[in-house]
């Protein structure tokens, strides 16, 4: 059993969700609906939440949006969804919080970008108003610095100081340092304004994998605030998934990161929930958390010339994921179930025996039968056109017997024990 060391941080409570130190790394997401459309936004938050997002951020960018936040919260409560909402504020946050106190109260956390609050004394006043509002309503704050909206006066100050050095650093190194300084100085200002340290989470998002790793390693070593991780503007499809996974995996393996978000650009018509699925899969494949039963499937090769194998692997995966909203409550521990769907006799029986339940489908030229293994033993052999439905019935039966009331595997998990440093 592997042991990962996590950074020791303050723990921040966001309603019922605990962030930091030995609390599980939290999955976050963000809506892309118009917040002024309360119905559409509440439905998307619910959809993200059902997919496994434990905190959802919504943009609060206008009076029309701010006016609908309490209605969104109420609609979610009415749907039985208690997922905390985070308000994403830029440019006019202090005005919206002042004019819409119900919005300020309904949110569980405010995200403040120090680069987009305002300049000089006016900016300081606006920042102070938002922090005091958070303190008054007992809300957490994420100070979220972003490469694309770095505080320009801070960047200029640091660039000028660098140029005065006998051996100036490369400009990009100064900019990375400026991101960290912006987050740390803003956090200190917030504390000085009366916000407790255990209400503060930090992030410093950039769009390059290597820069993100460098910035978060440095930031993590210089403070005890929980860190929200994410590669900003990760992009679409496999590029966004691979880049986010590469960056976050390195940091998570080093114990850095207390909440994560995968900033994927959805393909046209694609569900917003893809970013939640990817976040969960990163955490689960690293052995940090369990969310959904894993399907082990071989890639297929010249021995699997029909589509039966791919279809079954896909159907099993989507069936298991679709059941989780109910199974999570009914069958505690079922998220650690491991199912194998294999394409032929070469590795099929071996992998199937290692899984809780496995099916070894017939490859090209093999006898058209599919042995099913349960807990390492050959249980039954399926054949004919109804193999998929029959296999799903065996999976359902196994889940009920093992994770139902009194089942031997109920509440067992494969979460790696966490030790603080
Ligand atoms: S298990 Fe069989 S079908 Fe799957 S990749 Fe290996 S040889 Fe190919």
For 146-193, the pLDDT digits (tens) are 989 999 999 999 999 999 999 999 999 999 999 999 999 999 999 999
Segment 346-350 shows an average pLDDT of 93
What is the DSSP-derived secondary structure letter of residue 55? Answer: E
113/253 Cα distance (integer angstroms): 27
pLDDT band at 421 (very low <50, low <70, confident <90, very high): very low
Segment 356-375 shows an average pLDDT of 92
| 137: pLDDT strictly greater than 90 | yes
Is the distance from CB of 5 to CB of 420 less than 8 angstroms?
yes
In the structure, which protein residues have their CB atom closer than 6 angstroms to any atom of ligand 1?
Answer: 298-301, 303-304, 342-344, 346-348, 363
* Position in ligand 1 atom list of the atom nearest CA 302: 8
For 51-99, the pLDDT digits (tens) are 999 999 999 999 999 999 999 999 999 999 999 999 999 999 999 999 9
Query: Exposure of 238 by Cβ count < 10 A (0-12 exposed, 13-18 middle, 19+ buried)?
Result: exposed
Q: What percent of the chain has pLDDT over 70?
A: 97
What spacing in Å lies between the alpha carbon of 304 and ligand 1's midpoint?
7
What b/e sequence results for 380-390 when a residue is b if at least 16 CB atoms lie within 10 Å of its CB, and e otherwise?
eebeeeebbee
| SS3 state of residue 60 | coil
Strands (E) located in 217-301: 228-229, 235-236, 259-260, 264-265, 294-297
**11-286, what's its fold?**
TIM Barrel (3.20.20)
Does the annotation list 81 as a binding residue? no
For 187-211, the pLDDT digits (tens) are 999 999 999 999 999 999 999 999 9
For 42-58, the pLDDT digits (tens) are 999 999 998 999 999 99
The residue whose two tokens read 């997401």 is: 29
For 15-44, the pLDDT digits (tens) are 999 999 999 999 999 999 999 999 999 999
The alpha carbon of residue 291 and the mean position of all alpha carbons in its chain are separated, in whole angstroms, by 12
Helix (H) / strand (E) containing 111: strand 109-112
The alpha carbon of residue 298 and the mean position of all alpha carbons in its chain are separated, in whole angstroms, by 26
Q: Which residues contact 171 (CB under 8 A, 6 or more apart)?
A: 159, 162
For 210-260, the pLDDT digits (tens) are 999 999 999 999 999 999 999 998 888 899 999 999 999 999 999 999 999
Strands (E) located in 24-84: 26-30, 55-59
Residue nearest atom 7 in ligand 1 by C-alpha distance: 346
Q: What is the pLDDT of residue 3?
A: 59
What is the DSSP-derived secondary structure letter of residue 227? Answer: B
Is the distance from CB of 98 to CB of 81 less than 8 angstroms?
no
Mean pLDDT of the chain: 93
Segment 373-378 shows an average pLDDT of 97
* Position in ligand 1 atom list of the atom nearest CA 299: 5
Q: What percent of the chain has pLDDT over 90?
A: 80
What spacing in Å lies between the alpha carbon of 346 and ligand 1's midpoint?
6
Domain residue spans of the chain: 11-286, 294-403
CATH number for the segment(s) 294-403: 3.30.413.10
269/139 Cα distance (integer angstroms): 35
Is the distance from CB of 359 to CB of 371 less than 8 angstroms?
yes
* Position in ligand 1 atom list of the atom nearest CA 348: 1
What spacing in Å lies between the alpha carbon of 287 and ligand 1's midpoint?
25
For 386-418, the pLDDT digits (tens) are 988 999 999 999 999 999 999 999 975 444 444
For 254-288, the pLDDT digits (tens) are 999 999 999 999 888 889 999 999 999 999 999 89
What spacing in Å lies between the alpha carbon of 348 and ligand 1's midpoint?
7
331/360 Cα distance (integer angstroms): 26
């Amino acid at each position: 059993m592997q042991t990962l060391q996590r950074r020791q941080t303050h723990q921040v409570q966001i309603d019922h969700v605990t962030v930091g130190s030995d609390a599980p790394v939290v999955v976050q997401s963000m809506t892309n609906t118009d917040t002024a459309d309360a119905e559409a936004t509440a439905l998307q938050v619910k959809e993200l939440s059902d997919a496994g997002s434990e905190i959802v951020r919504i943009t609060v960018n206008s009076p029309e949006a701010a006016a609908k936040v309490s209605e969104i919260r109420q609609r979610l409560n009415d749907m039985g969804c208690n997922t905390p909402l985070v308000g994403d504020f830029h440019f006019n946050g202090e005005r919206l919080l002042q004019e819409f106190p119900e919005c300020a109260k309904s949110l569980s956390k405010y995200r403040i970008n120090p680069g987009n609050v305002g300049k000089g004394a006016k900016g300081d006043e606006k920042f102070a108003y938002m922090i005091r509002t958070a303190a008054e309503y007992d809300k957490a704050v994420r100070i979220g610095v972003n490469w694309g909206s770095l505080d320009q006066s801070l960047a200029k100050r640091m660039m000028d100081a660098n140029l005065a050095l006998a051996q100036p650093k490369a400009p990009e190194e100064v900019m990375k340092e400026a991101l960290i300084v912006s987050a740390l100085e803003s956090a200190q200002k917030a504390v000085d304004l009366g916000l407790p340290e255990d209400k503060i989470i930090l992030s410093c998002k950039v769009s390059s994998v290597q820069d993100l790793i460098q910035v978060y390693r440095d930031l993590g070593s210089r403070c005890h605030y929980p860190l929200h991780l994410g590669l900003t503007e990760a992009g679409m499809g496999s590029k966004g998934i691979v880049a986010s996974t590469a960056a976050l995996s390195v940091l998570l393996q080093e114990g850095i990161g207390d909440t994560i978000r995968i900033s994927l650009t959805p393909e046209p018509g694609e569900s917003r929930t893809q970013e939640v699925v990817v976040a969960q899969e990163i955490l689960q494949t690293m052995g940090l958390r369990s969310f959904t039963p894993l399907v082990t499937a071989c890639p297929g090769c010249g021995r699997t010339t029909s589509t039966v194998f791919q279809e079954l692997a896909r159907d099993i995966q989507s069936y298991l994921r679709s059941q989780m909203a109910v199974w999570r409550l009914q069958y505690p521990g079922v998220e650690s179930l491991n199912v194998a769907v294999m394409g032929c006799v070469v590795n099929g029986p071996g992998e199937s025996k290692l899984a809780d339940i496995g099916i070894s489908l017939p490859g090209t030229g093999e006898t058209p039968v599919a042995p099913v293994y349960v807990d390492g033993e050959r249980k039954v052999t399926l054949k004919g056109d109804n193999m998929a439905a029959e296999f799903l019935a065996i999976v359902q039966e196994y889940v009920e017997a093992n994770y139902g009331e009194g089942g031997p595997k109920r509440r067992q998990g494969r979460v790696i024990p966490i030790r603080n440093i």
